[in-house]
Structures are given as C-alpha cells and as structure tokens.
A and B are shown apart, each in its own frame.
Chain A
Amino acid sequence: MFHRESGVFKTSYAADMALYPLPIARWTVAAFAGLFILIVPLICGDYPISILNLILIAIVGALGLNILVGYTGQISIGTGAFMSVGAYTAANLVTRLGAPFWLALPAGGLMAALVGAIVGIPSLRIRGIYLAIATLAAQLIIEWTINHVQWISGGVQASVMIPRPSVFGIRLVSERQFYFFLLFFVVLALVATLNLVRSRVGRAFIAIRDQDIAAEIIGIDIFRYKLYAFAISSFFAGVTGVLESYYLGIANYEQFQIDVSIDYLAMVIIGGLGSVLGSVLGAIFVTLLPIATRLFLESFGGLFFSNANLLNVIPNLRLVIFGGLIIFFLVVEPDGLNRLWRNIRNYFRVWPFSY
C-alpha cells in the first residue's frame, strides 16, 4: 500500500492477480495488523474505540454493497432492509431459542441472503432505474412487514432486546472487548471480498457490470451471477445488521430505515465504486462526518446559533453537508476517495522525478 515499486515486472496472470503484489506488501499488512490489534486498543480511550466500532460495522456493510453496486453494477436502495432481515432473524433466534452468536450471526446473514436473492429476481428483466425503484419498493415493503408482523418484531415499538454475545465463555461487555470481536469480522469480510473479486465469480460480476450482453455471449449465466451478487451482498448486509444489533443491544426497525440505505450508498460512492479500499475509506468518512459535524458545532456553533436552535441545526446541517458531498464527489471525482489515494500514490511513485 505504501511501497513504491520501480516498475511492473509481472510475467504471469497469477502474479497479476496475487493478493500481495510485492513481498513488501506483507509487511504493510503486518504493520496494519499490529497497529489495530496492539497499539490502537492500548492508546485509545473508550470514546474513540466506540467510534471505531461504528466504523468497523459500517465497513462490513459497505464492502457488501460495493460487491453489488461497484462490482456488479446493480443499483440497490435496499441495504437497510436487508440489514433489518439479518438483525431480526438473529434477534429472534437469540431471544427465543437462546442461540449463541456463532449460530445467530450466519443465520441472520443467510436469511438476508435469501431475501436479497428474491429481491434480485426482477434484475433479470429490469435494470438501471427500474431496479433502483424495485429495491426501493423492497426496502419499504420489508420495513412495513417487520413493523406490522408481531411475530417478527416482538413487543413494543417493533424492537427486540439482544443480550451481548459471549465468546469462549467471556461475555462481551466493554467497548474494547467488542472492538476485537468486530475487528475479527471486518478482517474476515475484507479477506473474503478481496478473494471474491479476483475469483471466477468476481470476474463474472465485473464482466456483467461492464457490458452485460457481451458477458452473456462469452458464456456467463447472467441471471445466476446477478442473483449471486444480490445474495452475497445481502449476506454482508445481514451480518452488518446482526453486528449492529449486538453492539447496540437492540434490534429496532428505526435503525434500518431508508436513510441507512442511502448512507451505505454514499459510502460506496464517496469511497469509490468497485474498490475494496474505497469501501473502507467511504465507511470511515461517512461514519465520521456526523460526529465531526456535531463536534464542530458544539464547539463553534454557539457563535452563530442560539443554544435552542443548535439541536435543530446539527442534524439538518449534517444532511446538507452529506448531500453536498455526494454531489461534489459525483461531479468532481466520480471514482471517489480511492481515486484520490491512487493519485497521491502515483504522484509519489516517481517523486521527486515527476516526469
């Protein structure tokens, strides 16, 4: 990631597709692992760790959505609904059957994958905006169903309490314990995505995105792979929903509404479509944005607004900045933060000899 290669010396496809392009990349990964496993938990207080936890949860969801939107080119405005399917599946398993997390988590993901694949069925006939509207419909219908079917949503306010998970007999109570729990799944999701997109399936996704008719002609079963994309992406979304519910201790339909779907779409677009690093950067950016807005306004907002107004200003200013950034990135830098990062790297690749 940070190394500077002196040229491209790859002689085989295997080398081109390798996870570690150069031996030094292993050291970069090792350094990151050391940073996040050893150093971060040591130096960070509870509040920074809690923000990190939110980011880690978002990364899983952003990776999943990027598989669908960025790699396969299918628009989905239904991430929030898929997350809720996962969350309520896990919540019901835990509260009714007392399922441990290693059962509830994949079950939530699989249920979301199933629902996602069903939502993906129309993608064979319709594409583009029609698909966007169909997934929007799925979002609203799933939301309504969960909210109105008592059997799924349980008691009041359609919310189900979930006890914190226990790992090897240790109940995760502190932010720090949860940090390691989440970090494990993020690493898993990262490795899975990196490997998926360089596999046969991943290349089929990319072919469908680039030109679906051409992909069909070279023998890719478009329908099957589109369904795979929907299922895999929804699996990630479902797992994200489960992780979030475990973290917050509650599954509530309000945390999975349409604005959540839009948040995740924004992560993927701001981060960079079709890029693993972009998903991570986008997740960090979009998660930090409201926190930064709030911090900024709490410190300096008093200069411009009265205190009573401030409570009203913060969420709305956040909306304006958020929407403005989406438009800004679409117009000015369509490839997102990932592209900015690549530009910086390319600049330093030949630095200080810039030509």
Chain B
Amino acid sequence: MPEFDLRFTLFLLTNGVMIGLMYALIALGFVLIYKATDAINFAQGEFVMFAGFIAAGAAEFAGAPFWVCALLAVGGMIALGFALERVVLRPLIGRPVIAVVMATIGLAAVLRGTAVLAFGAGTRNISMPIPDDPIPLGPVTLPPVEVVGAAVSLIFLAGFTWFFLKSRTGIAMRAVADSQQVAMAMGINVRRYFAFAWAMAGIVSALGGIVWGAMLGVDNQLALVGLKVFPVVILGGLDSILGAVIGGLIVGVVENLAAGYFDPLVGGGTKDFVPYLLMIIVLMVRPEGIFGRRRIERV
C-alpha cells in the first residue's frame, strides 16, 4: 500500500464526493421510476448514453450552441420516456418482475444499437461553456466539469425532493407508488403518473448524459456508467431520493479511495469491483438499503 499522504487522500475524497454526486444524478432517474411504477430500469445507463448522443449529435450536425443541445436532449428524452412507457412498459403492468427486468434489458440493447446506428461509432465531445482551468479548493484542485456536474446534481436532487414533498403531482406520484388501487379510488389517473415518472427519468438522464458526456466523451461506452447505478441505489435504498445521494457519495468516495490505494497493487479495475463488493455486503445485511422502506409481505 502506498504511503499515507494527506493531500493525495484529500484529493481522492473531494474527487469522490463530486463523482458521487454525479452518480446520484443518474441513480435519481432509476429511483424515480422505481418509486412511482415499481419497475426496475436496467437501461438507465443507456438512457444516459442516448441523451449524450442527442446533445453531442445536435452540436455536430447542426452546430447548435450548448444550451440548444441541452434543451434538445431534455426534450428528446422526455419524448422517449413517454413513448417507452406507452409501448413497452404499460403492457407489462402486473406481470412478474423478470418480465420487466428482461424488457428493460432488451430496451438497453435496442438503445445501444440505435444510438450507434443513428449517430455513428466515433467518440464525440460535449463542450460546456465553462473554463477549463482547474478550480482550486484549499489544498486540492477540482476539474470544473465535475464541479458543474455536482452542482447540477445537487440542484436537481433538491428540486425533486421538494417536488415529491410539496407539489400536487409529486404527492399523487407518491400515492401511486404506495398503492395503485387506493390511488385509483382517490381519482388519480395512475397511468398518467406512470408516464410522468418515465418522462422525469428522461429529464434526469438527459442532464446525466450531458454532464457525464462532457466528462468522459460520448460513445457507446458511456452506457457503462449505468452499471454503477445498482450499487448506489442498493446502498441508499431503492425508493429513496436521499438514499440515492448518500449511496452515490459512499460509492464515489469508496471507489476513489480504493482505486487510489489498491489499483497499483492489483493492476487496475478496482473502481468497477469495490462498489459491487460493498453492495453484496449490504444485500446480505440490510437488503432494503440505508433509507429504503422495509416491505412487509402479507400472505
């Protein structure tokens, strides 16, 4: 193990926090869908990738400025969310879990193939209108892309927390998540809120696609970010927005520390391995996560 170095550790920690917040943004899309519709979206990474492709593609083909690209990505993902809910997910309501899981896995394959067919296989860049110089913060410096990504995540996480607690639509969505039958009896149009949930996941994925695309570049490898969603949401609890933030922070910090200290020993790849190890432990000890609701099954 390399010698303990305060600066290095601090760098890993702050970097982990930033990355963790960005994970939380993607995990939020997953949580929104699970919270409202009880469906597991295995295509969350592909959503993010697809949004990145839309934004990068708009900049490349039409030369659109950044804000137009971002709006296009958000609009496109909302439309995609609505369409997918109608065509794929709605017929599967009430079917076993594996059907929904498999459908989103199929969806992931379709999105990955379509994105490359439509936009080409090369890696693209999304350039945000921000300076490139690292931002100094005490003893460490931070890349501006990560800072912007983390800020966007925080704003949206706060926004969605408010949305679920206070707004009429948000309360209706919580009611739907709690019990579809009771919600129907109260005059809530359950299907409409299912569609809303997918559209909202689309918005979040669009933002995730832009910030992650700006950081990593846009190609079909961007979808691999989605693999980090599972540790994040399992740690935090599948149906908790706060859980997504905490889970994201834990995964971000742990994987950065692990990568910083263990990668030289085992030859790389710790980043992809440690979050899942952590997740397995949580699954064994407390499957519903830190903030998740414990489900009581009645016979």
B79 at the interface (CB under 8 A from A): no
Pairwise interchain contact B109-A320, C-beta atoms closer than 8 A: yes
- Please tell me which one of the listed residues A138, A141, A330 contacts residue B99 in the complex, with CB atoms under 8 A apart: A330
Pairwise interchain contact A316-B99, C-beta atoms closer than 8 A: no
Q: A330-B92, A331-B88 are in contact. Are A317 and B117 (CB under 8 A)?
A: yes
A302 at the interface (CB under 8 A from B): no
Pairwise interchain contact B101-A331, C-beta atoms closer than 8 A: no
Number of A residues, CB within 8 Å of B: 43
Pairwise interchain contact B98-A69, C-beta atoms closer than 8 A: yes
Pairwise interchain contact A331-B91, C-beta atoms closer than 8 A: yes
Task: Give the interface residue-count category, chain B.
Answer: 35 or more
Kindly report which residue of chain B lies nearest to residue A324, judged by CB atoms: B110
CB-contacts of B123-144 with A (<8 A): none
Pairwise interchain contact A75-B97, C-beta atoms closer than 8 A: yes
Pairwise interchain contact A126-B276, C-beta atoms closer than 8 A: no
Pairwise interchain contact B102-A334, C-beta atoms closer than 8 A: no
**B36 neighbours in A (Cβ, 8 Å):** none
A87 at the interface (CB under 8 A from B): no
- Please tell me which one of the listed residues A137, A273, A322 contacts residue B230 in the complex, with CB atoms under 8 A apart: A137
A21 at the interface (CB under 8 A from B): no
- Please tell me which one of the listed residues B103, B266, B283 contacts residue A330 in the complex, with CB atoms under 8 A apart: B103
Complex Cα gap A256–B113 (Å): 20
Q: Give chain A nearest CB distance to B36 CB in angstroms.
A: 15
Pairwise interchain contact B102-A141, C-beta atoms closer than 8 A: no
Pairwise interchain contact A323-B99, C-beta atoms closer than 8 A: no
Complex Cα gap A326–B108 (Å): 11
Q: Give chain B nearest CB distance to A78 CB in angstroms.
A: 12
**B273 neighbours in A (Cβ, 8 Å):** 140-141, 144
Pairwise interchain contact B230-A320, C-beta atoms closer than 8 A: no
Q: Give chain B nearest CB distance to A76 CB in angstroms.
A: 10
Pairwise interchain contact A132-B106, C-beta atoms closer than 8 A: no
B95 at the interface (CB under 8 A from A): yes
One digit per residue, 1 when the CB lies within 8 angstroms of any chain A CB and 0 when it does not, for chain B 81-98 equals: 000000010011001111
A347 at the interface (CB under 8 A from B): no
Q: Give chain A nearest CB distance to B258 CB in angstroms.
A: 12
Q: A126-B287, A130-B287 are in contact. Are A319 and B112 (CB under 8 A)?
A: yes
**A63 neighbours in B (Cβ, 8 Å):** none
CB-contacts of A113-146 with B (<8 A): 122, 125-126, 128-130, 132-134, 136-138, 140-141, 144
A103 at the interface (CB under 8 A from B): no
Complex Cα gap A125–B40 (Å): 19
A172 at the interface (CB under 8 A from B): no
Complex Cα gap A316–B115 (Å): 9
**A176 neighbours in B (Cβ, 8 Å):** none
CB-contacts of B236-292 with A (<8 A): 238, 266-267, 269, 272-273, 276-277, 279-280, 283-284, 287
Kindly report which residue of chain B lies nearest to residue A145, judged by CB atoms: B273
**B183 neighbours in A (Cβ, 8 Å):** none
Complex Cα gap A122–B279 (Å): 12
Pairwise interchain contact B98-A312, C-beta atoms closer than 8 A: no
Q: A125-B287, A137-B276, A144-B273 are in contact. Are A327 and B103 (CB under 8 A)?
A: yes
CB-contacts of B21-39 with A (<8 A): none
Q: Give chain A nearest CB distance to B186 CB in angstroms.
A: 27
B6 at the interface (CB under 8 A from A): no
**B95 neighbours in A (Cβ, 8 Å):** 330, 334
Complex Cα gap A327–B89 (Å): 10
Q: A140-B227, A323-B107 are in contact. Are A318 and B113 (CB under 8 A)?
A: yes
B234 at the interface (CB under 8 A from A): yes
Pairwise interchain contact B91-A140, C-beta atoms closer than 8 A: no
Pairwise interchain contact A75-B98, C-beta atoms closer than 8 A: yes
Kindly report which residue of chain B lies nearest to residue A328, judged by CB atoms: B106
- Please tell me which one of the listed residues A129, A140, A323 contacts residue B97 in the complex, with CB atoms under 8 A apart: A129
- Please tell me which one of the listed residues B98, B108, B272, B299 contacts residue A323 in the complex, with CB atoms under 8 A apart: B108
**B107 neighbours in A (Cβ, 8 Å):** 323, 327
Complex Cα gap A313–B114 (Å): 10
Complex Cα gap A69–B101 (Å): 13
Pairwise interchain contact A312-B101, C-beta atoms closer than 8 A: no
**A318 neighbours in B (Cβ, 8 Å):** 113
Kindly report which residue of chain B lies nearest to residue A147, judged by CB atoms: B269
Pairwise interchain contact B280-A137, C-beta atoms closer than 8 A: yes
Q: Give chain A nearest CB distance to B267 CB in angstroms.
A: 6
Q: Give chain A nearest CB distance to B296 CB in angstroms.
A: 13
B10 at the interface (CB under 8 A from A): no
Pairwise interchain contact A323-B101, C-beta atoms closer than 8 A: no
**A323 neighbours in B (Cβ, 8 Å):** 105-113
**B266 neighbours in A (Cβ, 8 Å):** 148
**A260 neighbours in B (Cβ, 8 Å):** none
Pairwise interchain contact A322-B277, C-beta atoms closer than 8 A: no
Complex Cα gap A223–B283 (Å): 17
Pairwise interchain contact A316-B88, C-beta atoms closer than 8 A: no
Complex Cα gap A196–B1 (Å): 51
Pairwise interchain contact A320-B101, C-beta atoms closer than 8 A: no
Pairwise interchain contact B272-A331, C-beta atoms closer than 8 A: no
One digit per residue, 1 when the CB lies within 8 angstroms of any chain B CB and 0 when it does not, for chain A 236-254 equals: 0000000000000000000
Q: A213-B299, A331-B92 are in contact. Are A137 and B117 (CB under 8 A)?
A: no
Pairwise interchain contact B101-A75, C-beta atoms closer than 8 A: yes
Complex Cα gap A273–B208 (Å): 36
Kindly report which residue of chain A lies nearest to residue B96, judged by CB atoms: A73
Kindly report which residue of chain B lies nearest to residue A121, judged by CB atoms: B284
**A319 neighbours in B (Cβ, 8 Å):** 109-110, 112-113
Pairwise interchain contact B103-A326, C-beta atoms closer than 8 A: yes
What 10 A-B pairs are tightest by C-beta distance, nearest first? A323-B109, A326-B106, A319-B113, A323-B110, A320-B113, A323-B106, A316-B113, A128-B97, A137-B276, A327-B106
Q: Can you sample 6 A-B contacts with CB below 8 Å?
A: A134-B283, A137-B230, A144-B273, A322-B109, A323-B109, A326-B103
Sample of 10 more A-B contacts, CB < 8 Å, known A140-B272, A318-B113: A73-B96, A75-B97, A122-B283, A125-B284, A125-B287, A129-B40, A129-B238, A130-B287, A132-B98, A140-B273
